Chains A and B, each alone.
Chain A
Amino acid sequence: MSSEVAHDTHYEAVLDEEPSRKPVYVDVVARQHELRPIIPASVRGWSNIKGTLRRFVGLNLHRAGYHGWRLPLVYVPLACMWAIVGLFKIAGKQIYWWWLLEQHGLRQHTATQNDYFGWSKLHKEAKTTRLTRGIWLGLELGAVLAVVVTLLVLDLWWAWALFAAATVPLLAHHGRPADRPIVNPAVVTPRFRTINADVVLRAYYAAGLGKPDKDDQRIGFGSRMERDGDGGRVLVDLPYGKTFDDAVKARGAIASGLDVSVNQVFLTRDKSSVRRHMLYVSDVDPLAIPAGRTPLLTCKTTDIWRPAPLGLDERGRRVNVALMWIAILIGAQPRKGKTFTARQLALYAALDPYVRITIADGKNSPDWKPFRLVAHRIIMGFVPNSFSPDPVEELLLALREIKRHIETVNDFLSKLPITECPEGKLTRELSRKYPQLRVWLLVMEEFHYYFELDNQDTNKEIAALLSYIMATGPSAGVILLSATQKPAGVGAGDVQRLFNRYRDNHSVRFALRCGSRDVSIAVLGGDAYQEGFDASALPNDEEYRGVGYLYGAADQTPTVRTFLATGEDAQKILLAARHHREQAQTLTGAAAGEDVSRDLRDVLRDVDSVFYAGEAWISWPQLAQRLATQYPEHYADLTADAISAQVRSLGVAAKKGRDRYDDNRSVQGVPQVHVAETLRLRELEAKR
């Protein structure tokens, strides 16, 4: 029966799934409402208003100047010339209108077809129209004549001028050819070509990444073409079998297909699939536009706990580097902006009064000398020079000081109560409250020199200290900033191993243009090379100085154009930094005028001081004993051989003599005159 039949077709069965309450968007462009600002940025804030006004006035002054001198010299003669042509053109147009010449073709057609009735009708119509139009033109001619006659009668120069000013532009506008305007704009707005799907497809097919005829070898799009800042971007799906590496290899071919420069094409890996990537094409070559001066020029105090500005990426967005807890390695060829970049980061640290800075510059260049104003310790070069009398020794002292600091910090933090230090980690408040917990920045510029010294023991000691600082420093608030142009092949054996370990343990890398792929791999690491970041492929021209890859600071690896801070800027910023430190009373070390040389073992002076009055000669054992007694903190375990080697290495000649403290035996020793002479020579050298 019907009800049983109805059971077979059960209309209450669910045919489709219930739709979920939340809508599913076809194309997600933005996840939130975009609230455009009520007052645009150009008029928000007094400095912005000033800037906008300045730009507006500047633009219009430029226009006024541009058109101003062209008016009598170019525009007026051209206008007069074209006005004459315009007069004839207008007369011609009016005659055309009057004589109904548009009907001419129709009339001829009727005549050709031998159609008298059509022709006659048109002819009659034309006659009446010509009459009326002729009357109007006659009136117009009459008016013009009346004006001219009035002007002639009145004979006022300004009336003629007015007449000319009214008629000549009109006539000239009609007279000039359409493609040659008399007045050209003084300010031309730039126009950009947007990439569209056809162009991208053409580029990819031409690069060999797909085949349009084959179905499975087609290139697809994963997103719409969008405008992003100064360029356009789109997600591209390669055909199955092609990977991101193929796209990176074909970057030049893609750029050629898109008809842009290689620097304008950026390929970014997409996390969802290896055959999908983001293609970004910028309107102009972004790396050639300099990023500008550093924002630190405002000389305001900074906060090391906030990211430091480094530069602009290829999209024009700010790139910041969070300096806390990291060790950053900067590597490049010479003259590519390495020191400027490192100095910029150090300037940021200098402007924070609660950061101590130790600088070791292996190449003894003037770039870092201005840091004398704020640096706790500053060491130049690796051979004695006018700035640092004993740089290696000073470096060892500085590194040992940092090592002690790390130990102190860890110790101190562990002793603090939980209320102050909940996680046993250094925090901003703690760092500012306790002078023992200050953040410490260690700058090692051209640090490979310190691994290649003559004395292997010193090399090993420096390497060991740096390893220790690298391993334990960042968590204790010590930031390492190393810059080098020779990141590989330094040292031998153990020292090489330690150097490589020191280099590879930097967490953040910044590579400017490198000489070769191997150097790039040494600076950025092998993983970066696998991801397609080869610093030897960066452009080489002058305008591309300061462009580098920042790897390891974030998930993205932006191509950064660093901000510029010249020597004068550095001086200015450091003077302000010193002022901030004086106000915060955190000037320490060399900047505070501590005579660092007193901390050093000034061996010659100490030796000179242990000579008794009138004594002309001491033997080495006697000297060692005296030094151990008089300066136990420095010379406690001194042996005769050690002091002998040391004094002789400082340039003092030894001499045999009779040691009266040792049964008048004839032994080697040092005469006082030699010591005095060497001291005097050293003073003269220092003065020079």
Chain B
Amino acid sequence: MGYLIAYSTVAVAWAAHTWWLSAAAALAGPAMYAGSCWWFPFANCWCCKGAGRHRRKDGKVLRDCRICKGTGKRLRIGRRIWNRYKKARG
């Protein structure tokens, strides 16, 4: 939703032929993504959708999700990039 707002602003700015506003708006998108990665570094696992475990079709047996190892969360890509960068630097 936020990205929608951001990119529509870019389009508006582009239409208005103001280069700096469009540049700022263009940068706003990735900045917002980076900020959200910083604040919420985890997103739901694509496999178990955040549950952390799977239930057998008959509902009796529970098995931990193999992908997220039972947490239900995965590290977001932006955060991963940041961690790698930090490790390389330090």
Contact = CB atoms under 8 A, between A and B. Distances in A.
Interface residues of A, number: 7
Interface string A107-118: 000011010110
Contacts of A116: 42, 68, 71-73
A519 B55 CA distance: 115
Contacts of B68: 116
Contacts of B71: 116-117
Nearest to B75: A114
Nearest to B69: A116
Interface of A: 111-112, 114, 116-117, 119-120
Interface of B is mostly: mixed
Interface in B24-68: 41-42, 68
B46 to A, nearest CB: 15
Interface of A is mostly: helix
A114 B42 CA distance: 9
Nearest to A111: B41
Nearest to B40: A123
Contacts of A119: 41-42
A112 B42 contact: no
B17 interface: no
18 contacts: A111-B41, A111-B42, A111-B75, A111-B79, A111-B83, A112-B83, A112-B86, A114-B75, A116-B42, A116-B68, A116-B71, A116-B72, A116-B73, A117-B71, A119-B41, A119-B42, A120-B42, A120-B73
Task: Report the interface size class on chain B.
Answer: 10 to 19
B79 to A, nearest CB: 6
A99 to B, nearest CB: 12
A493 to B, nearest CB: 97
A116 to B, nearest CB: 4
Interface of B: 41-42, 68, 71-73, 75, 79, 83, 86
Contacts of A114: 75
B24 to A, nearest CB: 26
A114 B76 CA distance: 10
Nearest to A110: B41
7 closest cross-chain pairs (CB), A and B: A111-B41, A116-B71, A116-B73, A114-B75, A112-B83, A116-B42, A111-B79
A116 B73 CA distance: 7
Contacts of A112: 83, 86
A329 to B, nearest CB: 82
Given A111-B42, A112-B86, A116-B73, 15 more contacts: A111-B41, A111-B75, A111-B79, A111-B83, A112-B83, A114-B75, A116-B42, A116-B68, A116-B71, A116-B72, A117-B71, A119-B41, A119-B42, A120-B42, A120-B73
Contacts of B41: 111, 119
A116 B68 CA distance: 10
A130 to B, nearest CB: 13
Nearest to A117: B71
A254 B41 CA distance: 67
A120 B71 CA distance: 10
Contacts of B42: 111, 116, 119-120
Nearest to B86: A112
A119 B73 CA distance: 11
B19 to A, nearest CB: 35
A112 B71 CA distance: 15
A111 B73 CA distance: 11
Contacts of B79: 111
A119 B75 CA distance: 11
A111 B75 CA distance: 8
A116 B83 CA distance: 15
Nearest to B80: A114
Nearest to A113: B83
A111 B43 CA distance: 12
Contacts of B83: 111-112
Contacts of B75: 111, 114
B37 to A, nearest CB: 9
Contacts of A111: 41-42, 75, 79, 83
A120 B75 CA distance: 13
A387 B73 CA distance: 118
A111 B79 CA distance: 8
A414 to B, nearest CB: 106
A106 to B, nearest CB: 13
A586 to B, nearest CB: 98
A644 B2 CA distance: 138
A117 B41 CA distance: 12
A114 B79 CA distance: 10
A117 B71 CA distance: 7
B78 to A, nearest CB: 11
Nearest to B76: A111
Find the residue from A114, A119, A120 having the highest chain B CB count within 10 A: A114
A116 B75 CA distance: 9
B66 to A, nearest CB: 15
B65 to A, nearest CB: 12
A116 B41 CA distance: 9
A112 B86 CA distance: 9
Contacts of A120: 42, 73
Nearest to A123: B40
A45 B68 CA distance: 89
A112 B80 CA distance: 8
Nearest to B45: A116
A194 to B, nearest CB: 46
